[in-house]
Structure 1
Amino acid sequence: MHPYIALITLLTVLLLMATLIMVGRARGRYGIKAPATTGHEGFERIFRVQGNTQEAALMFLPALWVAAEFGAVWLAATLGALWLLGRVWYVLAYANPARSRAMPFTVAGLANVVLVAQGLWGVIWTFVLA
């Protein structure tokens, strides 16, 4: 694995850990005892951003790895960094009800779509050359 891809992977894991910590803190702040997942609107927002981030990472990480393996590593790393920045922006926007999360969602989503396209193109090209 290329060091840039490894770095983006580890930073994504750190993002997942950060959202986990955010949920734990929100439980304490709003008095929501596990296993409850509803209650105060502030807790629910933080809980959803954690879930959304996990769902997005589940799609992103394999797309990143395949794109880096079967395509240009520099492009995969750049798109991975863009995805990561978009997701951090999304987490911050989602946690604050006054902020819009449409733009960071779009940035991260487009980066992921291009990663999938790059990986798919590279895999198909490998079959064509075989």
Structure 2
Amino acid sequence: MNYVHIVAVLAVLQFFLFGILVGRARAKYGIKAPATSGNEHFERAFRVHMNTLEQLIGFLPALLIAGLYWPNTIIAGIGVVYLVGRFLYRQLYIADPAKRGPGFLLTVIPTFTLLAAALVGAATRFAA
């Protein structure tokens, strides 16, 4: 079983879930498309979704490339920390954007760890 691929799929599903929650917030607060402002609670849900997209751009390639060079379970485990971090980020940002830090760190640290693992793995294989 390729745990790295499972984590990658879960990250994309998480992004779609956050999108669904934006749609619900849009309906709840009466924000008509294409507007992306008009209610602070809607704007928080929207920003979480967009920030998750911004994070996915670095996370997914790093996860998949690192998974080529390092043990599947370790790389997937780092990816799970990212997923938990995204949920925590959402919860904290929705409650109070100023308190989003722990969730943000649990997103960024795994991504940079995976980027480093991907780079070291690729460089080591290239040098061999």
Q: One fold, TM greater than 0.5?
A: yes
2:33 match: secondary structure: coil
Counting matched residue pairs gives: 128
Q: CA deviation at 1:14?
A: 1.5
Mapping 1:85-124, distance limit 5 Å: 85-97=84-96, 100-124=99-123
After alignment, is 8-17 or 40-49 more displaced? Answer: 8-17
Q: Any unmatched runs of 5+ in structure 1?
A: none
Q: Deviations over 1:10-57 (max 9, x none)?
A: 211111111111110111111110001110101111110000011111
Partner of 1:43: 42
State the TM-score, normalized to the length of structure 2.
0.94
Residues in 1 aligned to 2:107 and 2:19: alpha-carbon distance in whole angstroms: 20
Is 1:25 aligned with 2:24? yes
2:43 match: secondary structure: helix
Identity of aligned residues (%): 38
State the TM-score, normalized to the length of structure 1.
0.92
Q: CA deviation at 1:97?
A: 2.1
Give 1:97's aligned amino acid.
Answer: D
Residues in 2 aligned to 1:65 and 1:45: alpha-carbon distance in whole angstroms: 30
Q: CA deviation at 1:72?
A: 2.6
Partner of 1:76: 75
Residues in 2 aligned to 1:32 and 1:76: alpha-carbon distance in whole angstroms: 40
1:37 match: secondary structure: coil
Q: CA deviation at 1:71?
A: 2.2
Residues in 1 aligned to 2:16 and 2:52: alpha-carbon distance in whole angstroms: 10
Residues in 2 aligned to 1:72 and 1:120: alpha-carbon distance in whole angstroms: 15
Partner of 2:51: 52
After alignment, is 100-109 or 33-42 more displaced? Answer: 100-109
Q: CA deviation at 1:80?
A: 0.5
Runs of 4+ in 1 over 4 A off after TM superposition: none
8 A Cα contact 2:62 2:114, kept in partner: yes
Q: CA deviation at 1:99?
A: 7.3
After alignment, is 54-63 or 93-102 more displaced? Answer: 93-102
